Chain A
Amino acid sequence: MTRIILATNASHDMATEYLESWFQKTVDIAKQQKDTIIFELSKTHANKIEFEELIEKEKPQLIIFNGHGGSDVVCGYEYNILVKCPENHAVLKGKIVHALSCDSGKTLGPECIKIGTLAYLGYNDEFKLTTFGKNTNEEQLADDIAGFFLDPAFEAINSLVEGKTAKESFDRSQKMHKENLMILLASPDPTYNTSVASRLFHNLCHQVCLGDQSASF
C-alpha cells in the first residue's frame, strides 16, 4: 500500500518560515522511503478548502501541521483555521497526526483520539523558538540556535515518516531535547545561554504523544 503524507506549512512569519525551512529535511527523508508520496500545502495553499480536498482525494495516513495553533485548532496561512474541534476534527479520524504548533495537544489532540485518530503528537502549551532571526532558507538552516529547538522537534516528524511508532518517535525527540539541553548547560559559549535552555526545557516538558503508542505510518 502506498504511504501518503499530507503536510501544511503556514510560512507567513519568521517562526513558521523557519519551520518550512526545516521541513525540507522531512521532504528529503520522505523521498528516500519506499512507496511514499508527500503532498505539501504551503503558504496561501495552506487553507481549509485545499486541506480538506486533499484529505478526501488522497486519503493520507500521516498528517503534518507546521504552523500556529491553539487549544482546539491548528492553523494554516495567516491563521486560516485548518482543523477545529468540534467543527471538522473528524477529518483526522484513522490518521497519525503531528502538529508542530502551540497548544493543540491540550484539547484538539485528546478529542481527536476520542473519535479515532490513531496517534496525535504535538504540544499542550506554547512552542518556544529562539533564533538568530535569519531570512533566507539557507541562513535559517545554518542557524545553530534554531537547530537546538527545531532538530529535536522535527526528530519526531522525521521518525514518523521513517515508519517508527508514535512512542519511538516521541522518545527519540525527547532524547534529542535532553541532549541539546545538556549541550546548552555545559557549553562555555555565552550564546548557548541557560536562558535559551529554559525555552527548550519548556518544549521538552510540553511535548505530548496521545493515542496508540504502537501506531506507525
Chain B
Amino acid sequence: MENNEITITERKITIARLEVQSPELHFSSGNDSNEYTRDQMIDHIKLGDEVGNDFVKTEFEFLRALKNGTLMNMLVEA
C-alpha cells in the first residue's frame, strides 16, 4: 500500500488501539521472516513504512467491516 493512502488519523487510531494491547504480542505477516513486538510495530506505524502501513490497512479493513455491518453479517452466519 502506498504511504499516502493512509491518513494521520488512521495511524493515530491504530497506535492507540495497539497501546492497550499486551506488549508481549508478536506480529508476523507475509513473507517477512521477522516478527514484531507491539512496541516495534508502533514504531513502524510512526515511520510509515511497509510493515506499519500493512498493519494499519488490516486494522481499518476490520473496523470498516465492523462499521458497515459486513463483519456482523458474516458472524451471524456462523
- Chain A: residues with CB nearer than 8 A to chain B? 12-15, 68-70, 79, 102-103, 126-133, 145, 175, 178-179, 181-182, 185, 190-191, 193-199, 201-202, 204-205
Q: Are B21 and A102 in contact (CB under 8 A)?
A: no
Q: Are B62 and A201 in contact (CB under 8 A)?
A: yes
A to B CB contacts below 8 Å, 29 in the list? A13-B33, A15-B28, A15-B33, A68-B33, A69-B31, A70-B31, A79-B31, A102-B31, A126-B54, A127-B30, A128-B27, A128-B29, A129-B27, A129-B29, A130-B25, A130-B26, A131-B26, A178-B75, A178-B78, A182-B75, A190-B21, A191-B21, A191-B25, A194-B17, A196-B21, A198-B63, A201-B62, A202-B58, A205-B61
| In the complex with contacts A132-B25, A182-B78, A202-B62, A195-B17 CB distance below 8 A | yes
Is B8 engaged at the interface, CB distance under 8 Å to the other chain?
no
Q: Which residues of B contact A201 (CB under 8 A)?
A: 61-62, 65, 71
**Could you tell me the distance in whole angstroms from the C-beta of B66 to the nearest C-beta in chain A?**
8
Residue in chain A with minimal CB distance to B74: A178
Q: Are B62 and A194 in contact (CB under 8 A)?
A: yes
| In the complex with contacts A190-B20, A194-B17, A201-B65, A131-B28 CB distance below 8 A | yes
**Could you tell me the distance in whole angstroms from the C-beta of B67 to the nearest C-beta in chain A?**
12
Q: Of B24, B65, B74, B75, which contacts A133 at CB under 8 A? A: B24
**Could you tell me the distance in whole angstroms from the C-beta of A34 to the nearest C-beta in chain B?**
32
Q: Which residues of B contact A13 (CB under 8 A)?
A: 33-35
| In the complex with contacts A182-B75, A182-B78, A193-B17, A199-B26 CB distance below 8 A | no
| In the complex with contacts A70-B31, A131-B28, A191-B22 CB distance below 8 A | yes
Determine the main DSSP class of B at the interface with A: mixed
Q: Are A196 and B74 in contact (CB under 8 A)?
A: no
Q: Which residues of A contact B29 (CB under 8 A)?
A: 126-129, 199
Residue in chain A with minimal CB distance to B77: A178
CA distance A27 to B34 in the complex (A): 27
Is B37 engaged at the interface, CB distance under 8 Å to the other chain?
yes
CA distance A178 to B31 in the complex (A): 25
Q: Are B27 and A199 in contact (CB under 8 A)?
A: yes
The 4 closest A-B pairs by CB, nearest first: A198-B62, A178-B78, A133-B26, A15-B28
**Could you tell me the distance in whole angstroms from the C-beta of A191 to the nearest C-beta in chain B?**
5
Is B18 engaged at the interface, CB distance under 8 Å to the other chain?
yes
Q: Which residues of A contact B10 (CB under 8 A)?
A: none
Is B43 engaged at the interface, CB distance under 8 Å to the other chain?
no
CA distance A129 to B28 in the complex (A): 5
Q: Of A12, A79, A196, which contacts B25 at CB under 8 A? A: A196
